[in-house]
Chains A and B, each alone.
Chain A
Amino acid sequence: MRGPPARTGPVFRVKALSKTYRSGLLEVHALRCVDFEAAQGEFVVILGPSGSGKSTFLNIVGGLDRASSGEVWFKDHQLTAASEAELTRYRRDHVGFVFQFYNLVPSLTARENVQLVTEIAHNPMPVDDALALVGLSERRDHFPAQLSGGEQQRVAIARAIAKQPEVLLCDEPTGALDSRTGIRVLEALTEVNRAVGATTLVITHNAAIRDIADRVVRFADGRIAEESRNAARKTPAEVSW
Chain B
Amino acid sequence: MVISPLRRKVLRDLRRLGAQALAIALVLAAGVATLILGNGALDALTETRARYYADSRFADVFADLTRAPIALIDEIELIDGVLQAEGRIVKVGLLDLPAMAEPGSVLFVSLPGEGGLNRLHLRRGRMPDPLSADEVVVSEGFADARGLGPGDRLPVLMNGQRRELRLTGTAFSPEFIYALGPGDIMPDPRRFGIVWMPRHGLESAFDLRGSVSSVVAKLVPGANEAAVIEKIDRLLAPYGGAGAEGREDQVSHAFLDAEIKQLGAMVKVLPPIFLLVAAMLVNMTLMRLVALEREQIGLLKAIGYGSRAIAMHYVEFVLAIALAGIAIGLVAGAWLGAGMAQMYARFFSFPFLVFSRDPQVYGLAAVVTLGAAVAGAVRAARSVVALPPAVAMTPPAPVAYRRNGGWLRRLLGLRQTGLMVARHLWRWPLRTGSSVLGIAMAVAILVASLWSFGSIEHMIHVTFGRSERHDAQIVFGDPLPASAAFDARTLPGVMVVEPFRAVTARLSHRNLSRKLTIIGKPPEPHLSRTVAPDLRPMAMPEAGLILSEALAEALDVRPGDLVEVEVLEGPRPVLVLPVSGLSVGYVGLSVAMDIGALNRIMREGAMISGVNLQLDPALQSDFYAAARETPRTGFVGVRELTVNRFRETLADNITIMVTVYVALAGIIAVGVVYNSARIALSEQGRELASLRVLGFTRSEVAGILYRELAAVVLIAQPLGWLIGYAIAQAMVAAFSSDLYRVSLVIGREVFAVASLAVLAAALVSAALIRGRINRLDMIEVLKTRE
Q: Which residues of A contact B (CB under 8 A)?
A: 55, 59, 62, 64-65, 84-85, 88-93, 95, 97, 99-101, 103-109, 112-113, 115-117, 119-120, 141, 143-146, 159, 171
One of B323-331, B497-505, B647-655, B774-782 contacting the partner: B774-782
B687 touches A105 (CB 8 A): yes
Given contacts A101-B784, A103-B781, contact A108 B694 (CB under 8 A): no
The reply to whether A103 and B690 contact each other, CB–CB distance below 8 Å, is yes
Name the distance in Å between B8's Cβ and chain A's nearest Cβ. 21
Q: Which residues of B contact A59 (CB under 8 A)?
A: 779
Q: Does B398 contact A (CB under 8 A)?
A: yes
- In the complex the two chains form, what is the Cα distance from A143 to B400 in whole Å? 7
Cross-chain contact B779 with A91 (CB below 8 angstroms): no
Complex CA–CA separation, A209 to B94 (angstroms): 108
B398 with A107: CB separation less than 8 A: no
Q: Are A107 and B427 in contact (CB under 8 A)?
A: yes
Say which one of B333-341, B411-419, B727-735 lies at the interface with A. Answer: B411-419
Those 7 A-B pairs whose CB atoms lie nearest each other, nearest first: A92-B695, A107-B423, A91-B695, A145-B398, A103-B690, A116-B416, A145-B400
Identify the interface centre among A91, A105, A141: most chain B CB within 10 Å of its CB. A105
Q: List 28 A-B contacts (CB under 8 A).
A: A59-B779, A64-B693, A64-B778, A64-B779, A65-B779, A84-B698, A88-B692, A88-B697, A90-B695, A91-B694, A99-B782, A100-B783, A101-B785, A103-B687, A103-B782, A105-B416, A107-B401, A108-B401, A108-B416, A108-B419, A108-B420, A112-B416, A115-B416, A116-B416, A120-B696, A145-B397, A145-B401, A159-B694
A236 to B: closest C-beta gap in Å: 23
Query: Is B686 part of the binding interface, using a Cβ–Cβ cutoff of 8 Å?
Result: yes
Q: Known contacts A59-B779, A145-B401; can you find 18 more A-B pairs with CB under 8 A?
A: A65-B779, A85-B697, A91-B694, A97-B693, A103-B693, A106-B399, A106-B401, A106-B687, A107-B401, A107-B423, A107-B427, A115-B416, A116-B694, A120-B695, A120-B700, A143-B400, A143-B402, A171-B782
A107 touches B696 (CB 8 A): no
Whole-angstrom distance between the alpha carbons of A207 and B784 in the complex? 22
CA A93 to CA B695, docked complex, whole Å? 8
Nearest CB on B from A109, distance (A): 7
Nearest chain-B residue to A144 (Cβ)?
B398
Task: Give the dominant DSSP class at B's interface.
Answer: helix
Residues of B within 8 A of A55 (CB): 783
Asked if A92 and B424 sit within 8 Å, CB to CB, the answer is no
CB neighbours (8 Å) of B410 from chain A are none
In the complex, how many angstroms separate the beta carbon of B687 from the nearest chain A beta carbon? 5
Interface string of B369-388 (1 = CB under 8 A from A): 00000000000000000000
Contacts of B696 in A (CB 8 A): 88, 92, 120
Instruction: Point out the residues of chain A lying under 8 angstroms from B687, CB to CB.
Output: 103, 105-107
Q: With a CB–CB cut-off of 8 A, which chain A residues contact B697?
A: 85, 88, 92
Q: Which residues of A contact B423 (CB under 8 A)?
A: 107-108
Q: What 1/0 mask marks residues of chain B from 410 to 450 whose CB sits below 8 Å from any chain A CB?
A: 00000111011001100100000000000000000000000
State in angstroms the CA–CA spacing of A145 and B691 once bound together.
19
Most buried by A among B398, B400, B782, B783: B782
> In the complex, which residues of chain B have a beta carbon less than 8 angstroms from the beta carbon of A92?
694-697
Contact A89 B695 (CB under 8 A): yes
Tell me how far the C-beta of A212 lies from the nearest C-beta in chain B, rounded to whole angstroms.
Answer: 23
Of all chain B residues, which has the CB nearest A159? B694
Q: A65 to B781: give the CA distance in the assembly, Å.
A: 13
With a CB–CB cut-off of 8 A, which chain A residues contact B424?
107
B16 at the interface (CB under 8 A from A): no
